[in-house]
Amino acid sequence: MIYAGVDIGGMNIKIGLVDIKGTILADNSIKTDNTKDYKGILEDIVDDIRKLCKHVGADYHDIAGIGIGVPGVVDSRTGTVSYSANLGWRDVPVVHGLEVASGIRAEAANDANCAAWGEYKFGASRSMDNVILVTLGTGVGSGIIIDGRLFDGVASAGGEAGHMIIVKDGKQCNCGLKGCWERYASATALIEQTQEAMDKHPESLMHEIVAENGKISGRTAFIAAERGDKAGKEVVEGYIDYIATGLINIGNIFHPNAIIIGGGISNEGEALIAPLEKKVNDGLLASEHNPKVRIIGASLGNKAGIIGAAALVM
């Protein structure tokens, strides 16, 4: 039995064939053709699934289901994308469209929820029933698993931890609110904080590192801190504090077994995870009497979306 997992974004679509153990048998990335309507894009996806089947010598009719992760608000019960800014979709019946195009049963969910589901089923948090995934990328995404089930609120409109307000009247967010966590804890925010510190500290190593790498990135301050740069260390510490603020809120509301950290920034590994685990547990209510909330790096990397989407139909 094989399953297809699709992770659709505004620029690219990642598609994979996955077995029941969560192993990717073959995968591919195609361009999102924005000149086409959603039906055309879904046909591109089905064409690619057929190609992948040929590639691994599988019969297309052996595919038991197709799962798709979509950036935006996805009502997984009705299979409708209410809104996706990246794709320009509004009220798109993505599951129905995919079933018509493929002749195969389909399911859909928000992309961060798919990643959380993938990590829960096959990744870092296997065997834990209460897990929150937080992805630190361009924005801050989240997926909440309570008692082994995805929780995303009425019409799947909830579960958006990135837009919890951590600074009243704080920085303007794309969503219209001010002071959202993602304005302080995303990779985008880290780059902004790095730039501000560089402007203030012409002596900082960060200038050399940017010159070496050709551009400022989410790594700049971490590299500088590793090399002992004071301003770089301050940026990293301040940034980790912002992440911890949101994680403490999540920890006090859900007290999960673990919070999984994904997204590009999670590649910093222990330099990020160890101080976060300490700060978060220091910030939890009655922490000395309760089990620790573990902070763990995501283990499926950028394949979590494909694997999690496929796991929706298993």
163 contributes a contact to Zn ion by CB under 5 A: yes
| Tokens found for residue 190 | 């880290």
Candidates 3-11, 124-132, 160-168, 284-292; binding stretch for Zn ion (CB under 5 A): 160-168
State the greatest distance between any 2 C-alpha atoms of the chain, in Å, as a whole number.
63
Pick the closer one to Zn ion by CB: 84 or 220: 84
Give residue for tokens 């297309």. 60
Q: How far is the CB of 114 from Zn ion (least distance, A)?
A: 21
Cβ proximity of 281 and 41 under 8 Å = no
Q: How far is the CB of 85 from Zn ion (least distance, A)?
A: 12
Pick the closer one to Zn ion by CB: 124 or 185: 185
- Nearest Cα to Cα of residue 4 among 111, 124, 104: 104
25 contributes a contact to Zn ion by CB under 5 A: no
Q: What is the dihedral of CA 278, 160, 175, 9, to 10 degrees?
A: 100
Q: How far is the CB of 179 from Zn ion (least distance, A)?
A: 8
Q: How far is the CB of 162 from Zn ion (least distance, A)?
A: 7
Q: How far apart are CA 203 and CA 220, in angstroms?
A: 15
Pick the closer one to Zn ion by CB: 95 or 247: 247
- Nearest Cα to Cα of residue 313 among 64, 13, 55: 64
| Tokens found for residue 252 | 């006090």
Candidates 129-137, 162-170, 220-228, 230-238; binding stretch for Zn ion (CB under 5 A): 162-170
Q: How far is the CB of 141 from Zn ion (least distance, A)?
A: 12
> What 3-state DSSP class applies to 226?
helix
Q: How far is the CB of 178 from Zn ion (least distance, A)?
A: 8
H/E segment holding residue 64: strand 63-70
Candidates 24-32, 157-165, 216-224, 241-249; binding stretch for Zn ion (CB under 5 A): 157-165
- Nearest Cα to Cα of residue 26 among 9, 42, 10, 49: 49
Pick the closer one to Zn ion by CB: 64 or 177: 177
CA angle 76–254–261, rounded 5-degree value: 75
Pick the closer one to Zn ion by CB: 27 or 160: 160
Pick the closer one to Zn ion by CB: 100 or 166: 166
- Nearest Cα to Cα of residue 120 among 256, 291, 246, 251: 256
Pattern of binders to Zn ion over 104-143, x per CB under 5 A? Answer: ----------------------------------------
155 contributes a contact to Zn ion by CB under 5 A: no
> What 3-state DSSP class applies to 6?
strand
Pick the closer one to Zn ion by CB: 26 or 177: 177
Pattern of binders to Zn ion over 173-202, x per CB under 5 A? Answer: x-x-x--x----------------------
Provide the 10 A C-beta neighbour count for residue 176: 8
Pick the closer one to Zn ion by CB: 164 or 265: 164
Q: How far apart are CA 32 and CA 13, in angstroms?
A: 6
> Total binding residues for Zn ion by CB under 5 A?
5
Q: How far is the CB of 245 from Zn ion (least distance, A)?
A: 15
Question: Which CA distances in Å does 160 have to 98, 163, 244?
Answer: 26, 6, 16
Residues making contact with Zn ion (CB under 5 A)? 163, 173, 175, 177, 180
